[in-house]
Amino acid sequence: AQAILAQAQPLSAKLRTPLDTRRGTSRSAPMASKALVVPAAFGCAAAFVAPQQGLRGAPAAGAQEAGRAPVAAEPAQAACTLSAAAKLAGAAIVVGGLRAARRHGGRASARAVAMKATGIAINGFGRIGRQVARIAMKDPDVELKLINASYDAEYLAYQMKYDSIHGRYDGTIEADGDSLVIDGQKVALSHTRDPAEIPFTAHGAEYVCESTGVFLTAEKVQPHLKAGAKKIVFSAPAKDDSHTIVMGVNQDTYDSSMTCVSCASCTTNGLAPLVKAINDKFGIKRGLMTTIHAMTASQPTVDGSSKKDWRGGRAASGNIIPSSTGAAKAVAKVIPDVKGKLTGMAFRVPTIDVSVVDLTCELDTPTSYEEICAEVKRRAEGDMKGFLGYCDEDLVSTDFETCTISSTFDSKAGIMIDPTFVKLVAWYDNEWGYSCRVVDLIKHMASVDESGTSTKTEVKKSVEDLSDADLKGKTVLIRCDLNVPLNADLAITDETRITASIPTIEYLCKKGAKVLA
């Protein structure tokens, strides 16, 4: 082993990390990039955590017993650790560890990097703003610092405490002067219509949920930024080319250089996870979407006026109202492969929450309805868990009230006419489920911003896949001890792990990688 380590030492110098002769350890000097550079032969994925960062649910590398390689207790934990390591190292390429790396886009990875609670503010306290506030108050990863709304503290407390759909708030809410005390935590209030006057800096609110429906372009939120906001999340489709993210679908495209991000619409969040699961496996040639959508605050309860949409001005409480929606076309913003293949419409119906989407599509690959159900269930229980759900019970809309899942596939509601033509149905709580995604998106952005890296990670199954890859100046996270050769005694030892890893490390260095982790 000492001889092998001697061979590895020159490579270690290239990687700027002196190797320790103790099994599974390294002595890493502080690096501006926060990346801990560890040749992959030295221990499992849990060794890839930067000093003093650690993971929730996994001990920090520095906390391990001296001389013993850190070991993740469960595969899921190891996967989460590898995902976090990719963030910490700023990995542009992940080599090996494919199953774990795929989790990089899941909910666990969005929460993996340990950090202080993210300070958030809510501008606008309508249906989405209130649900975001409720969800944020119960999430230890975020801290609600400030609410900017028109009404006084007494009325805002009332609005948050009582809800006709989601029930009474599970906690305590009191008005205290011009602030709220929620579950014993003071939340500041402001009441300005000029975002330049909102005291974001004074209250430590770096991430803003913009839920007024008014400020939906990068230009219009410049006053927010000048007032001290760090990042803006639109709880509605952007009205410019600001980046759009649907959690569980394309969150890996977020980059810390982005200032304004849209969480898309509730219907796009209800449709995109299903589209992704189907398109990934079977391919979508073309499709039509219809959402049967609960009425919203923008509709009059009795006949009123709407110059823009005459039918939309009719009584929401007593009509089924055909309407337009850009949700289907917006899916192409998060799944470029379906650009030009989807469009849709809406029917507004007289219910006050929960909507259902009908996706009728032609597939590229012939299949059966049973195979479609099996694939959706697999994704719902796997890498898309928490975003895509699966239901095989005879449920109705009220059964999905306050459901946290973006899109729940109803296996009993779909139909198929031939192997490539199918109608699929998915439920979504257009208030609560969507608000959960707004909070998830803020947390994901904060996690990426904390590590100072992009989450856009390319996965390569093996070194052979890298022959055409441009690695110059990139950070590469490598896990190359998964399929190491056996020694003469048919055993896998540290020597064989190290020996097997060295050619890979040499190859990546020759390709010009900036940092190997």
Q: Which of 511, 415, 413, 515 is nearest to 471 (CA)?
A: 511
Pair 56, 83: CB distance under 8 Å: no
CA atoms within 13 A on the CB side of 379: 24
Distances, alpha carbon 361 to alpha carbons 198, 368, 398, 414, in Å: 46, 14, 27, 12
CA distance 379 to 426: 14
Instruction: Please report where in the chains the tokens 């289907």 appear, as a residue.
Output: 328
Q: Is 416 helix (H, G, I), strand (E, B) or coil?
A: strand
User: Is-catalytic flag, 266?
Assistant: yes
Say which of 266, 391, 403, 436 is annotated catalytic.
266
Residue 187's contacts (CB-CB under 8 Å, 6 or more residues apart) are: 144, 145, 146, 147, 179, 180, 181
Residue type, 138: K
**What is the distance between the alpha carbons of residues 158 and 455, in angstroms, rounded to a whole number?**
40
Q: Are 37 and 17 in contact (CB under 8 A)?
A: yes
3-class DSSP state of 58: strand
Q: How far apart are CA 411 and CA 496, in angstroms?
A: 49
Q: Do the Cβ atoms of 87 and 451 come closer than 8 Å?
A: yes
In terms of Cβ atoms closer than 10 Å to its own Cβ (0-12, 13-18, 19+), residue 64 is middle
Cα–Cα distance, 293 to 353 (Å, whole number): 8
Helix axes 432-451 and 127-137, enclosed angle (nearest 10)? 60
3-state secondary structure (DSSP) of residue 329: helix
CB atoms within 10 A of CB 473: 10
> Where is 497: in which H helix or E strand?
helix 494-510
CA angle 328, 331, 332 (to 5 degrees): 110
The residues facing 345 across adjacent strands are: 290, 324
Q: Which whole-number Å values give the CA distances from 283 to 197, 250, 277, 505, 510, in the listed order?
A: 49, 17, 9, 37, 38
Active site residues: 266
